[in-house]
Structure 1
Amino acid sequence: MKKMLSILLVSMVAISMLAGCGAKESSTATDTTNTEQTTNGSNETTTEAAAGSIAKIGLGHVTTIGKSKDLEGDKASGQVDTIMVAAAFDKDGKVVKVEIDNAQSKVDFDKDMQVASDIKAEMKTKVELGDEYGMKKASTIGKEWYEQAKALGDWMVGKSIDEIKGMKTVEKDASHPAVPDEADLTSSVTVSVEGYIAGVVEAYDHAIEVQAGAERLGLGHIVSAAKSKGYSNADGKEVLPAAEVNTIMVATAFDNEGKVAGTIIDNAQTKIDFDKAGKITTDKNGEFKTKVELADEYGMKKASSIGKDWYEQAKALGDWMVGKNVDEIKSMKTKEKDASHPAVPDEAELTSSVTISVESYIAGLVKSFDNAK
């Protein structure tokens, strides 16, 4: 009898210990995940980004041509300045990471309005130029543009959009209407920041949600002036001069395995027209929209064999990239449609949604990975 009681007591203790362990594990799971009941009655486990971790990413941009110049003497120039801001935000809308750059792209013409620049050459952004940009020599604080852009981005981290928009600034001169007047920026940023603040605000306003686990943010870009042209008049057909700069921008969030958690693709296709005498005919103070901003106004849908405009195809391409690593994206199967379309997707998932040539957008994605922090 005593032996049987002893066995019973040991069994009861063991059962209560197991029950205690089970309760602890259940409690821990409840703390770290959010379980929702779906309409069909099954339980689906989802995770919510914590404060300070990446929940959304956005891409902002501001394009101007105000520094372009009519023909004077033996030179004219079309200059496109495209500010690019890739930003990551947490669930509360505060900046987690931000990358700022500026593609200052110039196309020169000679006295006969023939293109004088090497339009096939690589066009670098201010960050890519690094010390070659040459601001440090004239800087009162001895800092190059890329160093100042980084300092400005670092200042934004942890702040809300309203806090960033509320930055105190001073007008230095007509070319510098908004230089930071914040104590923690006066020794690190002397550039005028209105365009960069506008860029991060736009990134916030159009931010997209990304998959859980995003840890790094990258900004990639491919800049080309290859479609620029000089004046010609042959066989009764007159072609007027034009500086055309295409600035492809790719903002991407990556997880700790290097897989895409979310990406945004856009293209600023900016054209500056001249008459045959070298006078600029494009409104230098006009608004210059990207292909995504133009949306249906871009006009691809009419000619598209799949009835989709550029912004829709760019989104479909970005969606396809999510969950894949760079090598998988680079190995996308493509086919040559014609000389202008050398790499159209030949993947079953994309043939009904993407007919544009994707080589530059993949290159931009790869660059965003290489630049990710």
Structure 2
Amino acid sequence: MKKTLALLLSLALVLLLMVGCSSNTPVQGSKDEPGDVVEVVGENEGAAAKMGLGVITSIAKSKDADDNNTLALGQVDTVMVAASFDQEGKVVSITIDNAQTRVNFDADLKVTNDKAAEIKTKIELGDAYGMINASEIGKEWYQQIDELENWMVGKTVAEIKAMNVKEVDASHPAVPDVPELTSLVTISIQDYVAALEKAFANAIEVEGAEKLGLGHVVSIGKSKDYSVDADGNETLPLAQVDTVMAATAFDTDGKVVGTIIDNAQTRINFDAEGKVTSDKAAEFKTKIELGDAYGMINASEIGKEWYQQIAELEKWMVGKTVAEIKAMNVKEVDDSHPAVPDVPELTSLVTISVQDYIASVEEAFTNAK
């Protein structure tokens, strides 16, 4: 009996030592054999840790009026990229769009567009953009940009910038030249990559981001006709395009976990003959990029610049749903300020009109992926 008990105790001790010494325990329910090393993957690996908004604006395609019946044209191309990144800087989600906005003038330098009309981006135009008719691969712009976005996911900005490209012609200096994209993307991508790089540089930290969206509101309402008043004072033609955009991240409950709102307010000036007087090759900055140089603080009753006020609005939105944001009390100050925040948290911090910023965040939620 004593021998049997001693034997049992010895076996129990051996088993205990075997279990204690094993550091390569397989995951419960796995098919790993004893002794196999099992890598435990962190729950947040690959999750969005940061999000950013990048913008590139050009007026290079604007045209002078001339004697050959070419009418004056102000064209603003604003490329915008909303992107989220994981802890390693790899793209988790990305949306690229282009607001290609034209302000047309007649022979008398009067704006012929409907200034109140809705202006759509290339993604919103979809098949109506009409690039497919000239596409050698039979794909519309939105289809090609979708393929480019898919290729970017999982890569760092450095890896994306290292993509091989080829110059097809002067209008297409950087077309993808990698096997995965040659039959899918024939558009030139330099501005999209540059805007992504800006998005990464401008990225803010977010926690709990499940989806990311890009929203925008585009207006030409402040463009001006050429005119001369009774005293002979001229108002010169102006093509002004305001492209409001919001890159916004949402959690599983649809609450904002981070948002970046900006406005590319781009002016193209013409002389009395319809010649563009703005520098077509200039860098055009958004209101956030302009910072103190935007100059709103001089007229601000609360002594805050535009970028400071929009930062306060963004902070107020965090933790709220779109419905809660839209339910904000606002007040009309004047015709130019029909929707100024009228809530205690913001009355001393935000005096700008917020209707387009809220609309952009709402669209970002609708478009989130």
TM-score, normalised to structure 1, is: 0.86
Q: Which residue of 2 aligns with 1:213?
A: 208
Aligned counterparts of 2:134 and 2:209: Cα–Cα separation in 1: 39
Q: Is 1:68 matched up with 2:62?
A: yes
Contact 1:217 1:252 in 2 (8 A): yes
Q: Structure 1: 5+ residue runs without aligned partners?
A: 1-47
1:44-77 Cα deviation digits (max 9, x unpaired): xxxx982211111000010000000001326210
Q: Which residue of 2 aligns with 1:260?
A: 256
| Letter paired with 1:139 | S
Indicate how the Cα distance of structure 1 residues 191 and 153 shifts in structure 2: closer, same or farther if over 3 A, else same.
same
1:187-228 Cα deviation digits (max 9, x unpaired): 111000000000100000010011x21100000000000110
2:243 to 223, 232, 247: 247
Q: Which residue of 2 aligns with 1:134?
A: 130
Aligned counterparts of 2:116 and 2:196: Cα–Cα separation in 1: 31
| Letter paired with 1:245 | V
1:232 to 219, 223, 227: 227
Aligned counterparts of 2:312 and 2:141: Cα–Cα separation in 1: 35
Indicate the SS of the match to 2:95: strand
| Letter paired with 1:229 | K
Please show how residues 165-184 of structure 1 align to structure 2 within 5 Å.
Answer: 165-184=161-180
Shift of 1:92: 1.2
Contact 1:120 1:224 in 2 (8 A): yes
Indicate the SS of the match to 2:199: helix
Indicate the SS of the match to 2:65: strand
Contact 1:51 1:92 in 2 (8 A): no
Aligned counterparts of 1:107 and 1:147: Cα–Cα separation in 2: 26
Q: Which piece of structure 1 moves more, 258-267 or 117-126? A: 117-126
The alignment-based identity, stated in percent, is 60
Please show how residues 1-373 of structure 1 align to structure 2 within 5 Å.
Answer: 50-72=44-66, 73=69, 75-210=71-206, 212-236=207-231, 237-373=233-369
Aligned counterparts of 1:111 and 1:145: Cα–Cα separation in 2: 32
Indicate how the Cα distance of structure 1 residues 149 and 194 shifts in structure 2: closer, same or farther if over 3 A, else same.
same
| Letter paired with 1:230 | D
Aligned counterparts of 2:70 and 2:181: Cα–Cα separation in 1: 42
Indicate the SS of the match to 2:262: strand
Contact 2:165 2:174 in 1 (8 A): yes
Indicate how the Cα distance of structure 1 residues 178 and 74 shifts in structure 2: closer, same or farther if over 3 A, else same.
closer
Aligned counterparts of 1:367 and 1:246: Cα–Cα separation in 2: 17
| Letter paired with 1:308 | K
Contact 2:64 2:70 in 1 (8 A): no
Higher strand share: 1
Indicate how the Cα distance of structure 1 residues 183 and 297 shifts in structure 2: closer, same or farther if over 3 A, else same.
same
Contact 1:107 1:119 in 2 (8 A): no
Q: How many residues align?
A: 325
Shift of 1:117: 1.3
Q: Structure 2: 5+ residue runs without aligned partners?
A: 1-41
Shift of 1:353: 1.0
Aligned counterparts of 2:351 and 2:64: Cα–Cα separation in 1: 38
| Letter paired with 1:107 | V
Indicate the SS of the match to 1:59: strand
Contact 1:68 1:77 in 2 (8 A): yes
Q: Which residue of 2 aligns with 1:15?
A: none
Contact 1:49 1:91 in 2 (8 A): no
Aligned counterparts of 1:279 and 1:176: Cα–Cα separation in 2: 26
Q: Tell me which stretches of 4 or more aligned residues in structure 1 moved more than 3 Å.
A: none
Aligned counterparts of 1:268 and 1:49: Cα–Cα separation in 2: 38
Aligned counterparts of 1:286 and 1:71: Cα–Cα separation in 2: 20
Aligned counterparts of 2:238 and 2:115: Cα–Cα separation in 1: 12
1:233-266 Cα deviation digits (max 9, x unpaired): 1132210000000000100000011000100000
Indicate the RMSD between aligned Cα atoms, in angstroms.
Answer: 1.0
Q: Which piece of structure 1 moves more, 229-238 or 243-252? A: 229-238
Aligned counterparts of 1:250 and 1:106: Cα–Cα separation in 2: 22
